[in-house]
Amino acid sequence: MGADGHFFYCFLQEFHLLLLLLFNSSEKVAIEYLNLCDWDVEASIDYFYDTPVLVDDALLEELYNRYKDPDIDMILVDGITLLCNDLEVDPQDIIMLVISWHINASTMCEYSKMEFLRGLQELSVDTVEKFRDKISYIRSELNDEKKFHDIYNFAFSWAKEKGQKSMALDTAIGMWRLLIAEKKCPLLDHWCQFLQNLQVLPLFEELDLLLNLLRGFHSCVLHDNH
C-alpha cells in the first residue's frame, strides 16, 4: 500500500470511529442517518438527536416477556442474568448499574414491568440487538460528571434492602468499589479497609451517616484530582 493509500485508510478508520462516537450507536445506524441526509455529517447528527426514535410496543412487550419471571410479573435475578448474557456483559459490570439507573429500578435485581418498559422506551430500545448497540453509549455516560453524580446517588438508594433506610457496610463498600474504580482513586483500598476496621460501626442504627461521609470523601477526591 502506497503512502496515499495508507493515509486514506487511516482517514477512513478515524472517520468510522468519529461516526460511532457522534451517533452513540452502531455503524449501521450511523450510515442510515448519513444516507437520509445525503452524507452531510452535521445535518445527519442533528437529525439523529432531534428526531425521537419510536419503539415498537409489540417488540418491547416481547422483550419484556423474554426476561419476565414465570411466576411473577417482574424481571428477577434469572431474567437479569439472561439479559446480561444477551448483552454480552458480566452481571458485575458497572454497566448494569447504569442500565438500572435508566430503568429507574426501585430495588436491586428487580425490574417491574413499568420500570423496564419505560426505561427501554427512553433508550429507544425494543430488541436485543438495539440494546446491545446502546451499550457503548450507556458506558460513556459514566464520563459525564453530572450523570455520574446522578448514578452515584441512585446506587446508594437502589442497593438498600427493601424497607431499610440504611445499607449494610459490605454492600456500601461494594458500591464504592464499583463506582470509584471508574475514577481510578488511589485511596480507594485504604478507605475501604478503614471502614472495615471500624468495629463501632455496627452499633449505628442508621448507616446513612456513613454514606453521607462516603459521598463527601468522593467529592474531595474528585476535587483534588482536577
CATH class entry, domain 144-225: mainly alpha
Each residue's pLDDT, cut to its tens digit, for the chain (226 residues) gives 555 555 555 555 556 545 554 555 556 666 666 676 777 777 777 766 665 566 888 999 999 999 999 999 999 999 999 999 999 999 989 999 999 999 999 988 899 999 999 899 888 899 999 999 999 999 999 888 889 888 888 887 787 766 666 667 777 777 777 777 656 666 667 667 777 776 544 433 444 455 455 555 555 544 444 4
Q: Is 111 helix (H, G, I), strand (E, B) or coil?
A: strand
Torsion 27-52-130-76 (CA) sign: positive
DSSP state of 149: H
Torsion 43-45-48-50 (CA) sign: negative
What pLDDT does residue 19 have? 58
| CATH number of the structural domain 57-142 | 1.10.238.10
Question: Does 57-142 match 144-225 in CATH topology?
Answer: yes
What residue spans define the domains of the chain? 3-50, 57-142, 144-225
The dihedral over CA atoms of 68, 72, 76, 79, expressed in degrees to the nearest 10, equals -20
